[in-house]
Chain A
Amino acid sequence: MYQITPDDRQYVEEFRKTPVGRHSPGLQRILNLFRGEAMAGKYVLVCTKPHREWMLGQFTGVRGEKIRMTNHSFTSLHEAEWYVFKQRWKRHTGEDLPD
């Protein structure tokens, strides 16, 4: 499996600008790692107001179990992507990305 390297820091800004869409191969490689994570603990957005508000949850990894809701709610999917990216970055590198 791919491991994040210090060089990958250069792609963070690219993601922040365009979390969904056309990406450089370097960013795509990071996203393949992040987005491909296993179900246990995987993030999911639960729509609370159609097209307006989403609440972040995490799967337990056990089929049929309730999603564990966090208390993070977003009014833009862009914001939500960035939040999730930061959590995953931290988990893989130990590094906190600035808001």
Chain B
Amino acid sequence: MKRIMGYSDQISVCPDDTIRFMVNCEAAGDYSARIVRVIHGDTNPDGPGYKEEAIETAVTGRYPARRQAIHAGSCAVVPDHAFLAALGSFTVQALVWPTTPAKGRQGLAGRWNGRTGAGFALGIDEGGGLALRLGDGRGGVAEVAAGKPMLAREWYFVAASYDAATGAVSLYQEPLVPYARTDTAVAISAPVALRLPANVQAPVVFAARHAGVAGKRTLFAEHFNGKIDRPRLANRVLSRLEMEQVRGDLIPVALQSSMLGVWNFSKCISSETIWDDSPNRLHGETFNLPARAMTGHNWTGEEMAWTHKPEQYGAIHFHDDDLHDAGWEVDFALKVPAGLKSGVYAAHVAIDDDEDFIPFVIRPPRGTASSKLLFVLPTASYLAYANEHMVTDAPLAELLTGQVSTMQPADMFLNEHREYGLSCYDSHSDGSGVCYTTRLRPIITMRPKYQSWLGGKGSGLWQMNADLHITDWLEAEKLGYDVITDEDVHAEGYTALAPYSVFVTSTHHEYWTKQMWDALDAFKKHGGRLVYTGANAWYWRIAYHPTRPGVMEVRRAEGGIRAWAAEPGEAYHSFSGEYGGLWRRNGLAPQRMAGSGFTAQGFDISSYYRRKPDSYDPRARFIFEGVGAEELIGDFGLIGGGAAGLELDRADRVLGTAPNALVLASSENHTGVYMVVLEEIYINSPGLCGGESDLVRADLVFYETPAGGAVFATSSIAWAGSLSHNNYNNNVARITGNVIRRFLDPAPF
């Protein structure tokens, strides 16, 4: 059973930096902690087995176990303010698009003190309709409810007013689109005996209800699923006509002094700020990263980019399972000692029969490089998949893998602990796609020893635990290397790559920001050599949060293999304003970067490559040194039993493969579980599986660049799983070694 897990505040550090570790331990007593350099994470007895190097640091020791909880669910909060203190009578209103009105109580907009129970809360009640709750702070609660459920995924105007003198409450629930024989509109007035206390001392909260404080943290309850657009708070009872007058962005002069807050979610979209257009400046902050740049109630479809017509993007989509930062207390910290070699490290924590690895990268001392060879850990792709729930949530998982899905104890924990947050392969509890992901939480999928259902028959390797096969092989070959992360490449651009002559990718370097793309492109233009030991890289365009490290966004715009699809009008990233979707649809297919791009996938067994005439070209002789003409390449391995598997790429001149590229070998004989990628399919037809379609293959590609550099692409995620076969003595390892050694030679191609 999973009992211990943690995360770190950073993912990439240099000597002298301090990295902090936060741990939740569900067992009693104390746990052990130590720092290790992770060499190999695959526990399969048919392979080299788990390997680490223990690192003696001040971290080594025992620490008291304690439980640290995660509070998921987003909302927006305006801190209490002197202008709010005098609030007696009020009107609160908004446009809302509930996605799960039937799920139970949900807060929409309120000023409620969770400690005293004083204040008001406009929300959705157990019946799925609008309700205004009033609390006197002495245990008395009054409620006026619409009594009719709202329809999911329909826009409503909702409002409530309260007259402090008479106790009169008015409530409006009005669908913007009427339907015949389905009347969900309600307008009621009712007196309540309860009177609100003079000052409830509470923040204004949207999309949840304030539930008190625990230590330094504010707690929220009754999280809302759905969109809120243009909430307003007035300091008196507005008539229905006046409510209508303040619904839009221009507040009539005569009503301006009545308005306490006129929130405009179409401003500051790339930040966590919610902006108050009123002179009171009751600005607030979102909590747990609800989705921004969402189409509002007035979106017309004429404009697809929120930057062009922000006023049509005044909605925030809140989810009860959004998460930004677990916010745990620090358990221990490491001041990175000088003299440690660059590599993949982890804080190893253990109690009873459970353990966790909290991985991070140590770079060479800042401004230096200790090798000409660079391995870039694909932390953006790790974040996209972080804590994915496909096996438990998606019935097609078993069809993709062609085998009964397997789960690890950690997967069971994740299934039952949704507060640990979702991946960009998941949908929220309301069915909407997850476009943000964060590393400020334990990520159980990003661990040595982790086995993934997606990793094919055999070791079950996906992402980090597959990528460690590459670093393990570099160690076995005694090839020195430095490690940095996607985040470093994004932040520092070409500067981070310039000291190196060879860039080695991970097995699946799928998610790239424009900054990362430009950095690698510049590296190649300066003669840098690229070894692409994987497949399906440079696929999704992403954006990092402009100010919150470790937070990433992906909008799954039209095209490509997608776990969900962005809603119409929501294909542009909120963090950057850039169009999301495939790099291929942004004019830069992966073939432009590495000569090869995504063509097919299947997750059962892998296959082998057969040499092609190009492999006998004198330009490619160095690659096949020591490999026989008739040898099948990679008909062995820990990932599906072959070097060509899981996701496959192919060369394609039309998509940007260099005209001088050699296709040295291609894989063949893939199973019927493999299918051509969606971006190749305009008219669907039979014949798109392995064994049927010529597009189901991996191409081994080599080409020289005009700057004297070169590119080598294996075009298969499974490649790395074959490197250690036969004690690292095999043709996959030989080819990879031949390429890297020649690429390290500065002689121009």
Contact = CB atoms under 8 A, between A and B. Distances in A.
Question: A and B, one complex?
Answer: yes
Contacts of A66: 412, 415-416
Given A20-B457, A22-B672, A47 B404 contact: no
A64 B407 contact: no
Interface in B401-450: 402-409, 412, 415-416, 418, 429, 449
Contact of B404 (A28, A43, A63): A43
A32 B451 CA distance: 24
Interface string A17-52: 001111101001001100111110011111100110
A73 to B, nearest CB: 13
B449 A50 contact: yes
Contacts, number: 89
A12 interface: no
B605 A35 contact: no
Nearest to B389: A63
B604 A47 contact: no
Interface in A49-82: 50-51, 54, 57, 59, 63-67, 77, 80-81
Interface of B: 43-45, 391-393, 395-396, 398-399, 402-409, 412, 415-416, 418, 429, 449, 451, 457, 604-605, 669, 671-672, 691
Contact of B672 (A25, A37, A51): A25
Contacts of A23: 671-672
A35 B399 contact: yes
Contacts of A84: 404
Given A28-B672, A32-B399, A50 B43 contact: yes
Contacts of A42: 395, 398
Q: How large is the interface on A (under 10, 10 to 19, 20 to 34, 35 or more residues)?
A: 20 to 34
A54 B409 CA distance: 11
B393 to A, nearest CB: 6
Contacts of A65: 416
B415 A67 contact: yes
Given A35-B402, A44-B391, A22 B669 contact: yes
B398 A35 contact: yes
A50 B47 CA distance: 13
Contacts of B43: 50-51
A72 B43 CA distance: 24
Contact of B671 (A21, A35, A43, A77): A21
A96 B418 CA distance: 39
Given A45-B406, A46-B407, A64 B395 contact: no
A67 B398 contact: no
A54 B429 CA distance: 29
6 contacts: A45-B404, A46-B409, A46-B412, A67-B392, A77-B403, A80-B404
